[in-house]
Structure 1
Amino acid sequence: MQAFLLESRWYEIILGGWLFFGFIYLSFGALTWLLTRHVLPRLGHGGRLDPRPVPQGQLRRELLLSASSVLLFGAGMVFPWGLLQLGWARLAVDPPGWRIVLEILALVIWNEIHFYANHWLLHTRWLRRFHLPHHRSIVTTPWATYSFHPVEAAMLGNIILLPMVVHDFSFAALLAAPLFSLLFNCIGHSNYDFLPDAHHDRWWLNGARRHHLHHACFHGNYGFMFPFMDRLFGTALPPQAAAERIARDLARTPDRRGRHVA
C-alpha cells in the first residue's frame, strides 16, 4: 500500500479523497437519517432529544457547508501523502491483527483529545466566528456532521498528521480514523436518544445526548463521543441544561394551524 501511495500523483490523491469523503458523508448521513427518522420510531425505540422544529433552509445550508468541507478534506489528503513522499512517515508492513486493533483504539482516544482541544479553541473569542456557522444548527441533524467553516474544517481535519509522524501506523488503522470519526459525528448530531433507559447523559456511549446539549446551550460538553475530557476539565453540562430553553421556545412556536404549542 505504501508503494502504491508513493507512486500515485497528487491530483489522484485529491480526487480519491473527494470521492471517499463524499461517499462516506452521504452514506452515513442517509443511514442515520433513515434509522432515526423512520426505523427506530416505528419500532418504538428511543425518540427525539430536541423536539423543536428544524428551521426552513437549515438542511440546504448544512449540505452546502458540508460539500465545502468534503472538498477541503479531500484536498487535505495531500498532506499525509506528502509525509510518506518525504519519508517523514511510513506505513506498517503486514501488521498483525492485534496491532491494528490497538492502533485504532489509540486513534479513537487521540481523536477525542484532538477534538476537545480544537473545539474548546473554537469557542474562544478569537476563533468563535469560525465556529458559528456550525452552531446555526441549534436543532441538529445528521447532515450537520461536516457543516463547518473552512477554518474549522482545517483544524478538525488534521487528526492523523501528528500520529503518523510519531508511529508507523497500518493503513487499515489510518483508514478507520475518518470512518469512526464520522460515525461518532452522525450519532452526536442525530438528535436522537438511542439509549432512553440509560441514566441521563452520564453513560459513556450517550454521545447523542451530550452533543445535543452542546448545540442547545452553545457552551459546555466540548467532547466528541466520550465524556472523559469534559469530566477531566469540568466542562460537562448537567442533563437538564437545555430543558428550560427548549420549553420556552416550544411555548412560543406556532403549530401549522397558527396556534402556539403549549
Structure 2
Amino acid sequence: MAHTFESLTAWQVMLAGLVFFGGIYLLFGIATWLLTRYVLPALGWGGVLDTRPLVPGQLRRELTQSSVSILIFGLGMIFPWGLLQLGWAHLDPDAGGWQIFLEILVLVAWNDVHFWVNHRLLHTRLLRRFHLPHHRSVVTTPFSTYSFHPLEALMLGNVILLPMVLHDFSFWSLFSVPLFSLFFNCVGHANYDFFPRVSYAHWFAASRRHHLHHACYNGNYGFQFTFMDRLFRTRLPADAASAQLAMAGRRGGVERSV
C-alpha cells in the first residue's frame, strides 16, 4: 500500500484525498447524528448535554463550511505525498503489528499536543477572528467537526507533516490519524454525554469537556485527553456553563409560557 500511494500522480492523490475526507465526514457525521438523536435515547443510554435548539440555518452553514475544509484537507494530501517524492520522508513497508500499534499511540498523543497548541493560538487576539466561524455553533452537532475557517483547516490539517520527517511511519499508522481524529471530533461535538457515570476528568467524558468549551468559549482547549489542559491550567470546572444553561432554560420557559 505504501508503494501504491507513492506511485500515484499528484492529481490522483488530491482526488483520492477529496473522496476520502468527504466520505469519512459524511459517514461519521451521519452515524453519530443517528446514534445520539435516535438510537441511544431510545435505549435510555446517556443524554443530551445542551438542550437549547440549534440556530436557524446552522446545519446548512456547518455543511457549507465543512465542504471548504474537506477541499483543503483533500487537496492538502499533496504535501505528505510531496515529502515522500522529495525523499524528505519515507514510509516503512515492513512494519509489523506491534510497531503499527505503538506508532498509532504516539500519533494519538501527538494529535492532542498539536491540537492544543493550534487551538490555543486560535484563541489569541491575533487569530481568534479565524476561529469564530467554528464557535458560531454554540450548541454543537457532529457536523460541526470540520466547520472551520480555511486558515483553521490549514493549521489543524498539517498534523502528520512533522512526525513524517522525524520517523519512518507505516502507511497504516498515518492512515489512522484522520480516522481517530474525526471519530474523537464527532464524539466531542455530539452534544451528548455517552458515559454520564464516569468522572469529568475521564477520557470518556471528552464530550462534556468540549461541550463546555463551546458554551464558555475559553478553556478546555484539549482534544480527547486532559493532559495539556492540566499542564497549562486551562481546564474548565465541570460546572463552568451552569449559569448560561440555567439562564437559557429560564428564557425558554418564559417563551413557552407566553
Pairing 1:160–2:157 present? no
Q: In the alignment, residue 7 of structure 2 is paired with which amino acid? A: E
In structure 1, C-alpha distance between the alignment counterparts of 2:40 and 2:176, rounded to whole Å? 26
Post-superposition offset of 1:5: 2.5
Equivalent residue for 1:181? Answer: 181
Q: Partners in 2 of 1:74 and 1:198 — Cα distance?
A: 37
Partner SS, residue 252 of structure 1: helix
Tell me how far apart the structure 2 counterparts of residues 225 and 5 of structure 1 sit (CA, whole Å): 29
> Larger helix proportion, structure 1 or 2?
2
Instruction: Report if the CA contact (8 A) 1:251-1:260 is conserved.
Output: no
Which sits farther off after the overlay, 239-248 or 115-124? 239-248
| CA shift in 2, pair 1:260/1:58, >3 Å | farther
The answer on whether the counterparts of 1:18 and 1:74 sit within 8 Å (CA) in structure 2 is: yes
CA deviations over 1:93-138 (Å, ceiling 9, x no partner): 2211000000000000000000000000000000000000000000
Are 1:146 and 2:146 matched, yes or no? yes
| Preserved CA contact (<8 Å) 2:48 2:193 | yes
- Displacement, 1:259? 2.1
Structure 1 unaligned residues grouped into runs of 5+:
none
User: Among the aligned pairs, what percent are the same residue?
Assistant: 62
Deviation at 1:203, TM superposition (A): 1.2
How high is the TM-score relative to the length of structure 1? 0.96
Residues 198 and 204 in structure 2, CA contact (< 8 A), matched pair in contact too: no
CA separation in 2, counterparts of 1:260 and 1:236?
A: 37
Q: Is the 8 A contact 2:191 2:207 kept in 1?
A: yes
1:259 and 2:256 are equivalent in the alignment: yes
The separation in 2 between residues aligned to 1:238 and 1:25, in whole angstroms, is: 31
* Consecutive unaligned residues in structure 2, runs of 5 or more: none
2:169 maps to 169
* 2:14–2:76 contact (8 Å) kept in structure 1: yes
| Match in the other structure for 1:103 | 103
* Superposed counterparts of 1:3-42, under 5 Å: 3-42=3-42
TM-score between both structures, scaled by the size of structure 2: 0.98
C-alpha separation between the residues in 2 aligned to 1:14 and 1:59?
Answer: 26
Structure 1 runs, 4 residues or longer, greater than 3 Å off: none
Aligned length, in residue pairs? 258
The answer to whether the 8 Å contact 1:184/1:225 transfers is yes
2:256 partner SS: coil
* 1:252–1:260 Cα contact (<8 Å) kept: no
1:64 aligns to what SS in structure 2? Answer: helix
State the alpha-carbon separation in 2 of the partners of residues 137 and 18 from structure 1: 24
- Is 1:92–1:169's contact at 8 Å kept on the other side of the alignment? yes
Match of 1:122 in 2: 122
Report how far residue 202 of structure 1 moved. Answer: 1.4
